[in-house]
Structure 1
Amino acid sequence: MAVAEGASKIAGGSPSGLLTGRLSALMFMQFFVWGAWQVTLGLVMQTVGIGNLIANAFSVGPIASIAGSFLLGMVATRYLSPKMLMVILHLVGGAILFVLPSLVTPEHGETMVWVLLGYLILYMPTVGLANTIALKSFGERVDNFPFVRAFGTLGWIAAGLIIGWLGLSASPQIFTAAAIVSIALGLYSFTLPNVAPDAPSDDSVLRQVFCVEAFGLMRQRSFLVFIVCATLISIPLAMYYAYASPYVGATGIENVSGTLAIGQMSELGFMFAMPWLYRRFGVKPLLLVGMAAWALRYALFAIGDGGSSLWAVYLGVALHGVCYDFFFVAGAIYTQTIAQPKGVNAQAQGMLTLFTYGVGMLLGSQIGGLLYAQLPAQPSIADWHQMWWYPAAAAAVIALIFQITFRGEREGAAA
């Protein structure tokens, strides 16, 4: 029987402080690695003269999410320990990150995109693996997950602040900073809780590769609606990740990385409130507010500028806490409650990653690329305003669809 280190629990089923600390360190490094390069990659590419490849660079992450979720996040976790996968993936991924700065040039731009794809095939499954390790370690106390996940946000904030402080926001050396922490996380992963992989079933290999058990969860109407809306809302999300940094730079703000870190600071505050909010309101209100916040954020970007409306830029960035926590963190907990009775926790988290960071963000990166291609080489604020209205409208429509069609019970409301 799979156990998540029984010694890590104390009387009453509450996780010990030691376990919480270990998992918090895991989340901190997991998202430091990602935040170190993801936030300002678009600015870096525009600065070195390969802005035309931004859409492709931000499309490889979603492609990697799809490939990685099938090959590693869902299949390998049934036969290998999640923590050993974390060791292997982060050590090899760190080595690749050390190579990337030399490829961020006009001569090697295409090669950089392909190498980035290879790296992300290794990295993206670790997002679901980290969630799985934490959630399985907590057992029934899934309401403790947001507290630990908050340290992932701290890691992302720390990455942005350090990159900005070092003056690397527009430098390819953002990958070097990520590489150092990736290697450290690979070594640290040896010490993670020894949670067991999902128990292999008697299904055929093909049924396991294509995650028939996890996809079977969508026979529940509410979960199907959630997955569809999560995929759709990830389309405008992709545009934020790819184009927020050049947009903020166009407003005249110099410390782009530090400014975007405001969003993670907001995320951190809401993250600590998530356990209470989830118990108090249940899943639907949180998911709905999260989607509505995306529409509001893009509307603010569509009116913000470097003058009297600069406040709209900062407020739009600060809304990241509501946008991300209320949808993606609450969504991960909701997915866990649906998957737990079926014993397909890792598969379900991998499937959620596949649809959100995979299918949704792939579509968003390509759609964003088409919209960005309509802008001049050096877009003005007015040009950016026109672009941001599209994701604002899309997010509003998705929120309306969710409100009308989602009828799930308040899972997790009673703890």
Structure 2
Amino acid sequence: MTATEEERTSVSSGLFLRLTAMMLLEFVVFGSWFATFGLILATHGLAGTIGHAYSLAAVAAIVSPMFLGSLGDRFVQSQKGLGAAHLAGGATMLLLPAAVAHRGGGLTLTLIFVYMLFFQPTLGLTNHIAFRHLGTHQRLFPYIRVFGTLGWFIAGQAVGWMGLSASPRLFFVTAGVSLAFGLYAFTLPRTQPPAKGVRFQIGDVVGAKAFTLFRHRNFAVLMVCALFTAVALGVYNTYASPFLGALGVHDVASVLSLGQASEVAFIVTIPWVLRYIGIKWALFSGMVMWSVRLALFIVAAGTHDWVAILAIALQGICNDFFLVLAAMYIGTVAPVRLSAQAQGMLILITSGIGQFIGAELSGRLYDATVAKHPASDLGQWTALWILPVVSGLVAAVIWAAFFRHGRSAEVVRYHDDASAELVVGG
């Protein structure tokens, strides 16, 4: 079956179920530990490593996805790359409980870096597999992606129910799920390398051809705004759980998972939003709400923890109307042969560079303010949360001013030669 014929086929219920199971398990793995990792470190005498740990996770996102994406485009079937990465990651995760329990800061940082080298590319691979097999039915993606959000919610609720929000034993749970998912991934539909047979060049190791997409105004604006928004995301991911702990919130994992419940509620509205609001203003709302959300954290430090819970509940707009829509936009406009690298580029910017900046800057602010004062002095958190508020607003202003797109659908043209340029209209 040719690629064109494959794209014209309808999406069977069996394929849909397999893709939703893939997305669910991907985010059960991620959500089981990432949300409360900072709380675990703070509880076990490693608070000073929180910023560094999330920074290293971001460095892994910079180094790993583009490398695996460029190789995967030619040599590795995507489902096999996904399975191998989760098997290796699960094995690495088994070593973390002992490292944290013995307060081995250096070993903990090393292990989390190695784990994230394996895990980070899988975020782009799951998107690529889904988009490739959906073919022309790209608008079904939100209904598949929502199961990823549901997976994170289930993981958070399970961790809270087991009382593992601040326990290193949590990593054993993550390892088990990761190993199981690694085996399942090999059963997913065969996803051939999109650039199989194309001559390999050294620039492909770093995904150099994906950088050609920056010649197109809208793609470049999207990546710049993704960078600023990811700074806010990086600060939130790094210090949301320690902040809730300082507020006296019990069962932090379960409370944080309310954000995923919000994502489930909002993600199903994406087709309606795209039809009546359009891609530009839907993405704009996601950027603005990141600033609103973290401004509420500042308010929460001076009032009650219910304001922080309200901020967590805004996650549906923040993530669905930014990260999910950005992935959908790229899936629509990127040439097929660069699809994996283009999705990897989004992961590079959001989970890599942007979150690295957010984690590093917030880590320094934390050390200069919160770490030097009693936990009860919640006002010291204000300086830390101002950073992501400003970053989100900068992204929104740039987006509103420079992204050119109406409510009509994107127009994509592909050249038949190897350069494969795209043109976006509307």
Q: Note whether the superposition's TM-score is higher than 0.5.
A: yes
Task: Specify whether residues 406 and 85 from structure 1 end up closer, same or farther in structure 2 by C-alpha distance, changes over 3 A only.
Answer: same
Q: Distance in 2 between matches of 1:14 and 1:91?
A: 32
Say if 1:55 and 1:242, in contact at 8 Å, map to a contact too. yes
Identify which of 338, 344, 348 aligns with 2:342: 348
Q: Distance in 1 between matches of 2:82 and 2:16?
A: 18
Say if 1:217 and 1:223, in contact at 8 Å, map to a contact too. yes
Q: Residue 421 of structure 2 corresponds to which residue in structure 1? A: none
Determine if the alignment matches structure 1 residue 332 to structure 2 residue 327: yes
Task: Specify whether residues 389 and 202 from structure 1 end up closer, same or farther in structure 2 by C-alpha distance, changes over 3 A only.
Answer: same
Letter in 2 for 1:362: F
Q: Distance in 2 between matches of 1:389 and 1:31?
A: 29
Q: Residue 61 of structure 1 corresponds to which residue in structure 2? A: 57
Determine if the alignment matches structure 1 residue 262 to structure 2 residue 255: no
Q: Distance in 2 between matches of 1:222 and 1:201?
A: 30
1:28-61 CA deviation, whole Å, 9 max, x = no partner? 1101111111010111100000000001110111
Q: Residue 134 of structure 2 corresponds to which residue in structure 1? A: 138
1:106-133 CA deviation, whole Å, 9 max, x = no partner? 5411111111111111110001000000
How far is 1:204 from its partner? 4.7
Q: Residue 45 of structure 1 corresponds to which residue in structure 2? A: 41
Say if 1:72 and 1:125, in contact at 8 Å, map to a contact too. yes
Aligned residue-pair number: 408
Q: Residue 363 of structure 2 corresponds to which residue in structure 1? A: 369
Letter in 2 for 1:135: F
Letter in 1 for 2:357: L
Q: Distance in 2 between matches of 1:213 and 1:408?
A: 24
Say if 1:50 and 1:105, in contact at 8 Å, map to a contact too. no
Q: Residue 388 of structure 2 corresponds to which residue in structure 1? A: 391
How far is 1:311 from its partner? 3.0
Q: Distance in 2 between matches of 1:160 and 1:4?
A: 40
How far is 1:413 from its partner? 7.1
Determine if the alignment matches structure 1 residue 311 to structure 2 residue 306: yes
How far is 1:242 from its partner? 0.7
Which secondary structure state, in structure 2, belongs to the residue aligned with residue 80 of structure 1? coil
User: Under a length normalisation based on structure 2, what TM-score does the superposition of the two structures give?
Assistant: 0.91
How far is 1:402 from its partner? 1.4
Identify which of 121, 126, 143 aligns with 2:122: 126
How far is 1:13 from its partner? 4.5
Q: Distance in 2 between matches of 1:16 and 1:182?
A: 27
Map 1:158-237 onto structure 2 (within 5 A).
158-200=154-196, 202-237=198-233
Q: CA RMSD in A?
A: 2.0
Which secondary structure state, in structure 2, belongs to the residue aligned with residue 343 of structure 1? helix
Say if 2:73 and 2:196, in contact at 8 Å, map to a contact too. no
Task: Specify whether residues 214 and 252 from structure 1 end up closer, same or farther in structure 2 by C-alpha distance, changes over 3 A only.
Answer: same
Q: Distance in 2 between matches of 1:349 and 1:198?
A: 13
Determine if the alignment matches structure 1 residue 323 to structure 2 residue 318: yes
How far is 1:5 from its partner? 10
Which secondary structure state, in structure 2, belongs to the residue aligned with residue 104 of structure 1? helix
Q: Distance in 1 between matches of 2:339 and 2:158?
A: 35
Say if 1:73 and 1:126, in contact at 8 Å, map to a contact too. no
Q: Structure 2 unaligned runs (5+)?
A: 412-426
Q: Distance in 1 between matches of 2:266 and 2:4?
A: 27
Q: Distance in 2 between matches of 1:347 and 1:393?
A: 30
Deviates more, 1:93-102 or 1:197-206: 197-206
Q: Residue 268 of structure 2 corresponds to which residue in structure 1? A: 272
Letter in 2 for 1:361: Q
Letter in 2 for 1:277: V
Say if 2:234 and 2:359, in contact at 8 Å, map to a contact too. yes
Letter in 2 for 1:349: Q
Q: Distance in 2 between matches of 1:111 and 1:412?
A: 49
Identify which of 353, 359, 373 aligns with 2:353: 359
Task: Specify whether residues 107 and 298 from structure 1 end up closer, same or farther in structure 2 by C-alpha distance, changes over 3 A only.
Answer: closer
Q: Distance in 1 between matches of 2:42 and 2:2?
A: 48
Q: Distance in 2 between matches of 1:13 and 1:51?
A: 52
Say if 1:280 and 1:413, in contact at 8 Å, map to a contact too. no
Q: Distance in 2 between matches of 1:5 and 1:354?
A: 32
Which secondary structure state, in structure 1, belongs to the residue aligned with residue 334 of structure 2? helix
Letter in 2 for 1:229: C
Deviates more, 1:270-279 or 1:331-340: 270-279
Say if 2:73 and 2:195, in contact at 8 Å, map to a contact too. no
1:342-371 CA deviation, whole Å, 9 max, x = no partner? 531111001111111111111111011111
How far is 1:73 from its partner? 2.4
User: Under a length normalisation based on structure 1, what TM-score does the superposition of the two structures give?
Assistant: 0.94
Task: Specify whether residues 207 and 409 from structure 1 end up closer, same or farther in structure 2 by C-alpha distance, changes over 3 A only.
Answer: farther
Q: Distance in 1 between matches of 2:286 and 2:41?
A: 30
Which secondary structure state, in structure 2, belongs to the residue aligned with residue 254 of structure 1? coil
How far is 1:412 from its partner? 3.9
How far is 1:249 from its partner? 1.2
Q: Distance in 1 between matches of 2:253 and 2:64?
A: 28
Q: Distance in 2 between matches of 1:5 and 1:101?
A: 49
Determine if the alignment matches structure 1 residue 400 to structure 2 residue 397: yes
